[in-house]
């Protein structure tokens, strides 16, 4: 959420930012909120003047009563009563106006970083760098669920009966591999100085609206019927929410946390064949990283965060690339974002396995996360990044480590989490 003072002083910058995000339907909101803000300040000034006059009159009434000027005192009493009524009337209007302002400000997108490429949607995202050599083996690579089935590692039919489409049972070595990746990712981040955390898997509505836009909430979140609780779509929601309505000291920054959680997502819409299996699902597990820091340090942390993901994937022999998200592909709260994509030898292309985002002070402003500095308090900056989400990561892992005989090689870093095994063998033909 933008600072109303910034919007008031820079309406054209805000409008151009809206245009850069191809959300022209929101342009009228800028003028509307400016008018509401002006009215809000007029109300406050009138209320302040009325209260000052009321206090003055109250003192005069006391003096008149002491002098037995009862008639004059009654006139003033009537005037004070009228002022009180007007103040109450204005206070009701003030509350209504402020609610309208907040609602509009929550929908106006954050100012994107000048380095963000201008583009309408994800088709105009820009490749930044490749890490590792993409390899296409001289043998056919099956679809990822077929690879898993060769190890008796997945049961989609039973999951469909139990929970419907978008769910799965992972079994045996594949389930163990899934847990191994999560455990390795946890230790990887701890070794990089992050504090490990397991957060609540449900959050209240005030946290939901603090961490994401209304459109994102509707597309992603599952609501718990009859309660003010939502299942988290990713643990960053709980992790940033941990700091709601807090004031940190500069000495306490940066806060660097890595968290494990299940994630629950609606995943609305129809999906193509490449998004079947475990690519796009309603429930999965994830290792996440978040940072709460000083504004001047957020871009430095942004670079560190996405590099953590790249290093993790490369340690498991998976080629990756980074993709800069263009303006039209950025969610409203984001200042800058980069996707990490893994190489798919089967598809002969890269696909998304994680996303790193700098949200500036947008989430902190919504959630009331302040920092106490030498010259007063200010809003912190927040960032988040996927360490690893095993369902998609498993696709990349299995395809890139599949051997000609159908076995899957276990990279050295994962072997301690897989009982020392160097590979997993096919269970059925």
CA distance 237 to 206: 11
Provide the annotated binding site: 234, 265-267, 288, 352-355, 384
For residue 381, the SS3 value is strand
Distance (Å, rounded) from C-alpha 343 to C-alpha 319? 6
CA 236 from chain centre, in angstroms, equals 6
Look up residue 356 and give its two tokens. Answer: 């790193």
Query: Token digits for 195?
Result: 């504090």
Classify residue 181 as left (phi > 0), alpha (psi -120 to 50) or beta.
Answer: alpha
Residue 302 CA to residue 325 CA, distance in Å, equals: 14
Question: How many other CB atoms are found less than 10 A from the CB of residue 350?
Answer: 21
Looking from the CA of 284 toward its CB, the CA atoms found within 13 Å total: 25
What would the two tokens of residue 381 be?
Answer: 């900056």
Beta carbons within 8 Å of 427's beta carbon, 6+ residues apart: 150, 151, 152, 153, 172, 173
Q: CB-based burial of residue 46 (10 Å sphere; 0-12 exposed, 13-18 middle, 19+ buried)?
A: middle
Q: Which residues are annotated as a binding site for L-serine?
A: 234, 265, 288, 384
Query: Quick check: 336 and 417 in contact, CB under 8 A?
Result: no
Give the annotated binding-site residues for ATP: 265-267, 352-355
């Amino acid at each position: 959420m933008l600072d109303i003072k910034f919007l008031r002083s820079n309406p054209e910058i805000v409008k151009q930012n809206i245009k850069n995000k191809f959300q022209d339907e929101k342009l009228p909101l800028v003028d509307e909120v400016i008018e509401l803000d002006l009215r809000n300040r007029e109300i406050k000034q009138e209320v302040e003047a009325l209260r000052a006059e009321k206090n003055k009159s109250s003192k005069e009434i006391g003096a008149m009563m002491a002098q037995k000027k009862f008639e004059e005192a009654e006139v003033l009493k009537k005037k004070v009563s009228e002022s009180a009524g007007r103040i109450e009337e204005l206070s009701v209007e003030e509350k209504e106006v402020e609610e309208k302002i907040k609602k509009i400000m929550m929908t106006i997108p954050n100012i994107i970083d000048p380095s963000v490429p201008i583009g309408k949607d994800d088709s105009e995202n820009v490749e930044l760098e490749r890490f590792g050599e993409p390899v296409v083996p001289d043998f056919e690579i099956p679809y990822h669920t077929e690879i898993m089935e060769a190890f008796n590692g997945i049961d989609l039919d039973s999951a469909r009966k139990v929970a419907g489409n978008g769910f799965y049972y992972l079994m045996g070595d594949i389930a163990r591999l899934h847990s191994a990746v999560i455990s390795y990712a946890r230790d990887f981040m701890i070794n990089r100085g992050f504090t490990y955390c397991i957060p609540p898997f449900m959050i209240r509505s005030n946290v939901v609206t603090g961490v994401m836009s209304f459109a994102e909430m509707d597309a992603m979140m599952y609501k718990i019927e009859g309660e003010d609780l939502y299942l988290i779509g990713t643990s960053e929601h709980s992790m940033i929410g941990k700091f709601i309505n807090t004031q940190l000291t500069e000495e306490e920054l940066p806060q660097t946390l890595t968290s494990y959680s299940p994630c629950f997502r609606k995943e609305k819409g129809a999906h193509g064949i490449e998004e079947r299996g475990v690519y796009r699902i309603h429930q999965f597990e994830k290792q996440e990283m978040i940072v709460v820091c000083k504004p001047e340090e957020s871009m430095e942390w942004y670079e560190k965060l996405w590099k953590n993901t790249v290093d993790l994937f490369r340690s498991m022999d998976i080629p990756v690339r980074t993709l800069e998200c263009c303006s039209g592909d950025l969610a409203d709260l984001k200042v800058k974002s980069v996707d990490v994509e893994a190489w798919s030898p089967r598809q002969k292309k890269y696909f998304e396995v994680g996303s790193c985002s700098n949200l500036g002070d947008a989430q902190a402003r919504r959630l009331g996360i302040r920092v106490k500095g030498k010259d007063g308090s200010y809003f912190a900056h927040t960032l988040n990044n996927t360490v690893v989400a095993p369902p998609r990561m498993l696709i990349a892992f299995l395809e890139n480590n599949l051997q000609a005989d159908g076995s899957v090689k276990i990279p050295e870093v994962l072997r301690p989490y897989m009982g020392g095994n160097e590979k997993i063998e096919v269970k059925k033909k």
